[in-house]
């Protein structure tokens, strides 16, 4: 069996894993204060900048396959 070489996983998931910058001061934030599953494929994150205190939200829409979420025996 020949091994397959694939790119790093982080490149494929960059939009999900990337840390946001504060829209006011540009500082990079480490972790959201809260995350909420709004819909089956939508997650909303609430942030507050440690440097300037500016609160903001980001949202991530997940691309789910047709079978995602189905219960299987």
Each residue of 23-60: pLDDT tens digit? 999 999 999 999 999 998 899 999 999 999 999 999 98
Let me know if residue 23 belongs to a domain: yes
Count the domains in the chain: 1
DSSP state of 68: T
pLDDT score at 19: 84
pLDDT score at 18: 75
* pTM for this predicted structure: 0.64
Let me know if residue 45 belongs to a domain: yes
Averaged pLDDT score across all residues of the chain? 77
For residue 39, give both structure tokens: 């819909």
pLDDT score at 61: 86
Let me know if residue 39 belongs to a domain: yes
pLDDT score at 16: 55
Let me know if residue 57 belongs to a domain: yes
Convert 50-73 to b/e letters by CB count within 10 Å (16 or more is b): eeeeeeeeeeeeeeeeeeeeeeee
Residue whose pair of structure tokens reads 């079978």 in the numeric block: 67
Q: Which domain holds residue 32?
A: 17-61
């Amino acid at each position: 069996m020949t091994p397959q070489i694939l790119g790093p996983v982080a490149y494929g998931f960059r939009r999900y894993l990337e840390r946001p910058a504060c829209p006011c001061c540009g500082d990079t934030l480490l972790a959201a204060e809260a995350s909420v599953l709004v819909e089956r494929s939508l997650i909303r994150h609430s942030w507050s900048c440690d440097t300037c205190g500016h609160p903001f939200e980001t949202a991530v829409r997940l691309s789910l396959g047709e079978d995602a979420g189905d219960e299987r025996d």
